[in-house]
Structure 1
């Protein structure tokens, strides 16, 4: 008898199908909520919304996204030291599901909304970083080629969920059916959990808890992580000065201070860093700042650009009416189309294009996209503009993202000092957190600037930063010890 051939998933371990489906549905729930959250918060109580000013809704969405990335650090630590990746993903998925269910409760009190967001933040911190860890562990250490291909498939699952979610959830939310739309996000996460549990056997020993676990440590961590902020908020509320706006500002300040403090800790402490490691870290700080500026603008899509779609755009595409949320599907569609193009381009160019140059190009692209937004906003003063303006904006932004995002983790690993190798991967995600938090606060500029001026101010910041990186590419490349070599033909 012939040995039974093991089932595969497009030539990859069958377990990748489990992780692919889980991630796709989790991203469906995440991007579905993200596509309507700002407009829900800004909708009046008569429209079943929270009635927040647009700038406040933008700030909330900004710190929500920022905290999602920030809690990935403790989420990864909990998996490594206590729960293991598999249990962390399952617990995280359950918390996300409960969060969406809380938001789906059709009551007028905002309590269930805030509770739902907190649960989703906590759950995503456990699920998101550990899914990638398990994908990597499906392959032998020496099988780099198949691992890279596996991550490409995994990346596709993210963008499939991100593409379909705004269309489906946006359609359900149309007509102020917000809680029905939140239910769709809950169903998405539930389907992801079902897929994860059913395919659990295929994961075998991948993501199991560590051999030595200090019992009670998780409880103490949860008590500290939940108790300390709760006590601080209660004390602030007791003063009668706590507002949503002030809370978003406080969270933004804390995120920035934590980031500055962490880099100061690395650079000013001894940690047995060599002189070369310190020089490379100085170069990395500049790249980190560039990435933060990029995400500050890029992640205004689910707030400022969504409001533009709602208020100033003729929402018809090829003669078919679409919802404001559907415009959030343009970005993942372009990513799916252009990922293979850019992957081939970077291989073709080799080291003739350096990391600083890729970051600089990304900043210029994100800046140019907001110059286009400034033109669209100026034209919108005379009435609604075509949705194709937003299509063009998202297309330009994707060119920037594919120049910065794929190389971000790679350069982080390359420049990390030996003493901080594992921690530095999480630091890269703090750039997202800083950018999202600050970007959320930029909505307050609308008090003193017109919309075209707002877009031009942010565009100028990005373009100036990009040109500065271009000017200092040679110095940064020397600091990074990144040498020019001719590309392979």
Structure 2
């Protein structure tokens, strides 16, 4: 009798998905660490020559679209391709996107094509690789599945940690396309591991869960093609008027992204859908949590734009006497996540329901607000010269405390409060909160045209802190609406890290 090969006690298929996700995140966070500075660099430095405000807006809507397309990506896997093929083709399209960006030509067309491909590919890969992790385990193996997801999230954070170090170093000296090429290599390595390890998945994700009949599939594809053609025609007509600009385009995309949750919540709340009175009350509570999450991500996801520019322009990039790249500061966040995830996991288990979901969200908002108070102080000191990079270390440390309070409970509270008729759809809506926050956060860069950096950071800080305090004031009412009751915490040796993975992406 031969023992089955395992990956730290888990099915070996987890090793395949772990490696694929780690390298995909390496490519994503590697690009993210240099994208804004590349766009704002002058053509003489091989960049696109945008203003920092425009670059921030572009990076914001780019991140927003990444989360938005997870909804159609999950639908395509469920109804047409199946998770396994969706992950493969998603990774392949992502790799092609990075290759397009790595083409060493002056034309920006390859950059926009590359970003479009990365968005489309990520929509196919991200929602479906997590589904496959869950399906590696029997239905009743909750504890092992949770532990497996913990290892999976470790891969995410490892990729996020090393990517800025590697890509940032390679892109130094205006070698942007070399950095983009490294991201392409990372995705290629992930695809290679995925293909070679396919047999260990044992058929997981081979078939769509609810396949469309052939006639409906053709109809859906036809409608999708017509919609894409209509968008292309509208953009061409806009360009022909001579009023098209990148700034205006990001504003339009932001408005569209904002309209998605407004339309969805309106559809749920105003229609009948056989919702019970209790379900409607819980949905009203969820809307407030959704808004709070969007405000949190609005500040938090300024890391690859506004905070990256601060690192580049106003920071003495020396850590323990070693010179680092501005992109290296993007590694602080995943490093702190890996350090503090076990701490917060154990903390939440011991506290139990004594700390409610609204209180955790309020704590997160106050933390991200305080981090921007620190940024305001650093920006004020930067008026007299470059400040220590340790200011950014402190900022990211405070922000991680907030993320570990909000991010882990997001999907959980969404599943809990979702009406029965919308259980599956609502899980995707949680990620729309990040999309809204990213898009609006990108637009806040325009405030820099009318106020100083200290005032900018302080304005956003006050917004987040006030929102957090308001949420705290209405905690009791929200708990009643959510039917979340106070229960004493049960002693436990520690919580599974998957209870608080701290990384949405």
TM value normalised by structure 2: 0.95
* Equivalent residue number for residue 329 of structure 2: 327
Query: Gaps spanning 5+ residues in structure 2: where?
Result: 492-505
Pick from 240, 243, 248 the counterpart of residue 241 of structure 1: 243
* Equivalent residue number for residue 421 of structure 2: 419
* Equivalent residue number for residue 185 of structure 1: 183
Pick from 143, 149, 152 the counterpart of residue 151 of structure 1: 149
* Equivalent residue number for residue 467 of structure 1: 469
* Equivalent residue number for residue 403 of structure 2: 401
Distance 2:220 2:118 in 1: 19
Kindly indicate whether the alpha-carbon contact (under 8 Å) linking 1:8 and 1:14 is maintained by their aligned counterparts in 2. Answer: yes
Distance 2:83 2:19 in 1: 17
Distance 2:138 2:161 in 1: 32
SS at match of 1:483: coil
* Equivalent residue number for residue 42 of structure 1: 40
Distance 1:218 1:257 in 2: 23
SS at match of 1:49: coil
Distance 2:115 2:227 in 1: 16
Shift of 1:461: 0.5
* Equivalent residue number for residue 96 of structure 1: 94
Q: Within 5 Å, give how 1:16-415 maps onto structure 2.
A: 16-210=14-208, 212-215=211-214, 216-217=218-219, 219-220=221-222, 222-415=224-417
Distance 1:347 1:120, change over 3 A: same
Query: Gaps spanning 5+ residues in structure 1: where?
Result: none
Tell me the alpha carbon deviations over residues 248-307 of structure 1, each in whole angstroms, 9 at most, x when there is no partner.
Answer: 000000111121011000000000000000000000000000000000000000000000
Distance 2:226 2:169 in 1: 40
Question: Is residue 2:445 matched to residue 1:446?
Answer: no
* Equivalent residue number for residue 494 of structure 2: none
Distance 1:469 1:145 in 2: 32
Distance 2:446 2:155 in 1: 35
Shift of 1:91: 0.5
Shift of 1:225: 5.0
Distance 2:69 2:219 in 1: 17
SS at match of 1:270: coil
Distance 2:70 2:487 in 1: 36
* Equivalent residue number for residue 13 of structure 2: 15
Shift of 1:464: 0.3
Kindly indicate whether the alpha-carbon contact (under 8 Å) linking 2:78 and 2:211 is maintained by their aligned counterparts in 1. Answer: no
Kindly indicate whether the alpha-carbon contact (under 8 Å) linking 1:28 and 1:185 is maintained by their aligned counterparts in 2. Answer: yes
Pick from 454, 457, 461 the counterpart of residue 455 of structure 1: 457
SS at match of 2:206: coil
TM value normalised by structure 1: 0.99
Kindly indicate whether the alpha-carbon contact (under 8 Å) linking 1:82 and 1:214 is maintained by their aligned counterparts in 2. Answer: no
Distance 1:221 1:208, change over 3 A: farther
Shift of 1:217: 4.9
Shift of 1:204: 1.6
SS at match of 2:304: helix
Distance 1:465 1:392, change over 3 A: same
Tell me the C-alpha RMSD between the 2 structures.
0.9
Distance 1:65 1:221, change over 3 A: farther
